Structure 1
Amino acid sequence: MAEAYPWQQALWQQLAGRSQHAHAYLLHGPQGIGKRAMAERLMARLLCQQPQGVDACGQCKSCLLLKAGSHPDNFVLEPEEADKPIKVDQVRDLVSFVVQTAQLGGRKVVLIEPVEAMNVNASNALLKSLEEPSGDTVLLLVSHQPSRLLPTIKSRCQQVACAQPTLAQSQAWLATALPELDQVERDELLTLAAGSPLMAVNLQSQGVREQRALVTEGVKKLIKQQQSPSQLAEAWNNVPLLLLFDWFCDWSHLILRYQLTQDEDGLGLADMRKVIQYLAQKSRQGRVLEVQAWILEQRQKVQGKANLNRVLLLEALLAHWLQMLATR
């Protein structure tokens, strides 16, 4: 059974305790807060033949089949490869599943995650099933970026906003999930994960603190002209592209913030505070805004899975970063 996170308790009671369910739910919120786990938990509850209150029993035929990954009335739709789109042919398979009769005589439940991975054609192929699913079918859509969804998708679902846990809840959970780290290290991870505790654990498993140290050291050498953009682009080959653009986007924001407020408490994590302060003092605000606009534009392309030349893109990123220090 999917893990039940403490910050989801109130929403879970409200959602799973219903006597009647909508034909489609859109669970949305920041990535890394447990939306997929909640959807899987609800899927188990909806398919269970002998539910125990708001949870699945875990022992009936339906629960055992679901646990074994062989439930005939359950369909999970997700990208075939990580960071790839959901294809229209995959959605057509889902549509074929929806029109079938439930083999165990109960509900059919579909889980789609992340919904924004569907392109326009795939989204349009889903609309009929979303509007009028056959039989007693419930569709559970999970989205980390609902703003990227077609309005026609969102309007056909009952939207369920999944709130981010409080700082105290995240810290308490991380202390259990990552006991080998000290409080400072866990707080740094949580900052890098934008407050999402599950994302913090995922980043730790990817070696994000080592990657961050490599990148920050590289930025410092770039400013001192000890390394070139092309050298750093090669050295950062194993750092996820979106992570890099997230960091540079955040740093440009911190530079602008400091230029406007001179607040030294708002310089971000310790590893880049002096650099942020230096760039804020040496750069024209108009130039920083231009660089930030370019970074945001490229980040959107990376997020949209555009076919980009990684090395050339990183060289351009670092060249733009150096432009903040240009005297003209």
Structure 2
Amino acid sequence: MAEYSWQAGLWQRLAGRSQHAHAYLLHGPTGIGKRDLAERLMALLLCQQPQNHAPCGQCKACLLLAAGTHPDLFILEPEDVDKVIRVDQVRELVDFVAQTPQLGGRKVVLLEPAEAMNLNAANALLKSLEEPSGNTQLLLVSHQPSRLLPTIRSRCIQQACPLPRTGESLAWLATSLPELSVEERETLLQLAAGSPLLAFKLYRQDVLSMRAQVVDGIKKLHKQQQSPSQLAESWNTLPLVLLFDWFFEWSLLILRWQSNASEVGSQDMAKVIQYLAEKSSQARVIAMQEWLLAQRQKVLAKANLNKVLLLEALLVQWANLPVRN
């Protein structure tokens, strides 16, 4: 199981507990290793002979876990990427919690991401969170704990997971992606908002090429070499949340430049940001930020959206930021 240097202190505190809470909520930004931490804790809780705050790897429970056949483990995830966790899935979890452990030790539930539960699913989980039967531990992993019901959060021990320092992240990326240059790793980490595992994932998704495509498209948009509708069609395969995050970051940099003409901080978009900062009103930029946040929330909530029309609306607003003389 993966171990990360930035989690060492937290792991010692969690693994060293003489008694464990019935439910933990491990939360923090995407891409910092929360799932790996939950799996390490899961293995420790299920191990029959833990040693030095670690599973032994040799007992029956450890061998069953390694084979993926442990009878006292229940993992709950969306059935498909970007789908919700449905109430009938949670009802299966509730039935599992009510059972007697087959190996005579603990039962463990791992649920990720917790915010993927719809309202009915979250309500169905409350009873098990409040009074789990038998020796059951529930490990909830959340990238956005603010989207969870307050009643879910209040029934768990909430544990913030640390974001690594920049040096730690770059050192991990140097080991994981030695084929890249230092500059490429730094760019990836910046695109991932400092989360090294997300940076690695973005690299595997060819995000550097995506970024170049988007930046080139924006420059052509401002030169009137491409229309919003043409760009929207060409971006149809790009992840919406990623695009919204980039445009929000750029709008923030525009406002920052307008405030004190500071370093832009986004080298590939520096000239565009400076141009828009000089030509746009703060009111328009702030209005676009509000629109971006609202649409991003709809995407995260799995709303049924027309992607091309949404991208076209985004690009029309962006193109209209400069105040016409």
Aligning the two structures, in what range does the TM-score lie when normalised by the shorter sequence? over 0.9
- 2:304 and 2:213 map into 1 onto residues whose CA distance is 25
2:100 is aligned with 1:77: no
In structure 2, distance between residues paired with 1:71 and 1:167: 38
Contact 1:115–1:143 (CA under 8 A) maintained in structure 2:
yes
- The answer on 1:306 being equivalent to 2:266 is no
The alignment covers a number of residue pairs equal to: 325
**Does residue 1:60 correspond to 2:59, yes or no?**
yes
- 1:107 pairs with 2:106: yes
Residue 324 (structure 2) aligned to one of 294, 305, 327: 327
Q: Deviations over 1:280-322 (max 9, x none)?
A: 0111111111122111211111122211000000000000111
Alignment of 1:140-289 (within 5 A): 140-263=139-262, 265=263, 267-289=264-286
Letter in 2 for 1:85: V
Q: Deviations over 1:132-170 (max 9, x none)?
A: 001000000000001111010010001111010011111
Task: Confirm whether residue 132 of structure 1 aligns to residue 138 of structure 2.
Answer: no
Amino acid at match of 1:282: K
| Residues 85-139 of structure 1 deviation map (CA, whole Å, 9 limit, x = unaligned) | 0000000000000000000000000000000000111000000000000100000
The Cα shift of 1:50 comes to 1.0
1:46 match: secondary structure:
helix
Residue equivalent to 2:42: 43
- 1:36, distance to aligned residue in structure 2 (A): 0.3
Displacement of 1:326 in angstroms is 3.9
Q: Which residue of 2 aligns with 1:117?
A: 116
Identify the residue that residue 98 of structure 1 maps to in structure 2: 97
TM-score under structure 1 length normalisation: 0.98
- Partner AA of 1:174 in structure 2: L
Distance 2:284 2:46 in 1: 56
Secondary structure (helix, strand or coil) at the match of 2:52 reads: coil
Q: Distance in 1 between matches of 2:6 and 2:29?
A: 14
Question: Any conservation in 1 of the 2:281–2:323 contact (CA below 8 Å)?
Answer: no
CA shift, 1:225, in A, is 0.5
Please give the alpha-carbon distance, in whole angstroms, between the structure 1 residues aligned to 2:308 and 2:102. Answer: 51
Aligned to 1:87: 86
The match for 1:295 is: 292
Q: Deviations over 1:258-277 (max 9, x none)?
A: 001111x2x12211000000
What stretches of structure 1 of length at least 5 have no aligned partner? none
Inter-partner Cα distance in structure 1 for 2:44 and 2:284 = 54
Residue 184 of structure 1: how far off its partner (Å): 0.7
Corresponding residue for 2:25? Answer: 26
Structure 1 residue 318 corresponds to structure 2 residue 315: yes
Aligned-partner SS, 2:258 = helix
For 2:242, what is the secondary structure of its paired residue?
Answer: helix
- How far apart, CA to CA, are the structure 1 residues paired with 2:162 and 2:148? 19
Structure 2 residues not aligned, in runs of 5+? none
In 2, the alpha carbon distance for the partners of 1:281 and 1:288 equals 12
Match of 1:14 in 2: 13
Matched residue SS, 1:109: strand
Contact 2:241 / 2:296 at 8 angstroms: preserved in 1? yes
CA–CA distance in 1 between the matches of 2:236 and 2:90?
A: 34
Distance in 2, matches of 1:287 and 1:133, equals 51
Q: Which amino acid aligns with 1:88?
A: V
Instruction: Give the Cα separation in 1 of the matches to 2:125 and 2:27.
Output: 18
Q: Which amino acid aligns with 1:291?
A: M
Partner-residue secondary structure (3-state), 2:141:
strand
Aligned to 2:291, what secondary structure does the other structure show? helix
Runs of 4+ in structure 1 off by over 4 angstroms are none
